Amino acid sequence: MAVELDIERGRDAVLSAIAGADPSIEERKTLWRRFWDISEPPGEPLTHASAGDAPPCEQYIFERRLEPFLRDVPKLLRDVPHYIPVFPTLIGAHQQASAFGCETFIHPDEPSIWSRPLLQEYDPDAAMALEPPDPASGLQGVSIELARRAEELFEGQVAVRIPDMQGPLDVAGQVCGPANLLRMLVEHPHAAHHAVNVATQALIDFYRAIKSEVTELAGPHCPGGIWCPPELGNAVSEDYAPLVSREMYEEFSVPYIQRIADETGGLFIHCCGTFEHTYESMAGIAGLTGVNPAIPVVEYPPFARTFADVCVLVPTKSAPDGPRRWPTEESWREYITANTPAGAHLVV
């Protein structure tokens, strides 16, 4: 009973903070909506912040997600003028793989949820037999339940964040096995295309399923804490982009993420690897809303020059080199703003 009372008090405190926010939540959303429109003057860089999250191994437990959220939201609403609460639903990078039936486990060296490939051997025929899973299967269903419970608790007044949506190439690699998929791209491209196409449909189905449960599904999932208008669509992690050539990326990824953008209203992309060779290909995606690179895994100036006129720039520091190179937030902000082209839309 005490836990329920704490949740009730915390919820009331959050809703009270939202009602009394200055600037108001609607004013903040108006600012962000204008900011996401690349045709509008950008104004000053906007700042994002994220309410505390549960340890990776406990992200599937609603109460563990809720506790830091209830604690942090009132303070962030008071201290960060651009902040809009967005409740997290991501459960690591293997949600989609688990929906396909991949076994999940806690990694011994890194306390987070991983998965084992469905295909243990190189088997193009098995890849050709893959079909889109039920959107609520595996850990995807857990995210949907988190979204459903947050929607009910906050009565639709708090946005829900898009879960960790790995890109189609990433999902196909997790399901087929990374080495198996990369070999398939060369030796059996028809099987690779099928696997990536099935992964694309699975991502679209999951996005629609979780969106149907909430008043407001916002993103992106990485970095957390940014509010993006729901009408601007989806977000994916393109973490296999560093593993393939530009030609392979254009054949096996771009058409599929373009389809996601087309069918969900737009697309935000995260990549935490070295994807410079895909910049031009990625920048050509219609409906691209923003890109989040890891700096200095990739150098910021050439990234900013490529995407400044295309979408919102959301650079974040990669560990461990980022914090060593920019030990303070002030030094980080100075570097990023000094190397951002005039007129770019920047989130720091």
CATH class held by domain 2-338 = alpha beta
pLDDT at 255 over 90: yes
Confidence bin at 112 (pLDDT 50/70/90): confident
Reduced to 3 states (helix: H, G, I; strand: E, B; else coil), residue 63 is helix
Tell which residue, 159, 166, 165, has the closest CA to residue 240. 166
Cβ-proximal residues to 130 (8 Å cutoff; 6+ apart), any chain? 100, 175, 194, 195, 198
Task: List alpha helices for 37-177, DSSP H.
Answer: 62-79, 95-99, 124-128, 138-154, 168-176
- For the chain, give the percent of residues with pLDDT over 90: 89
Prediction pTM value? 0.95
Tell which residue, 222, 232, 227, has the closest CA to residue 90. 222
Residue ranges per domain, the chain? 2-338
Of residues 57 and 163, more confidently modeled: 163
- Residue 149 is which amino acid? R
Mean pLDDT, all residues of the chain: 95
- Residue 23 is which amino acid? P
Residue 6 is predicted with a pLDDT of 86
pLDDT at 3 over 60: no
Residue 4 is predicted with a pLDDT of 54
Tell which residue, 155, 157, 140, 153, has the closest CA to residue 209. 140
How large is the average pLDDT for residues 213-227? 92
Of residues 138 and 2, more confidently modeled: 138
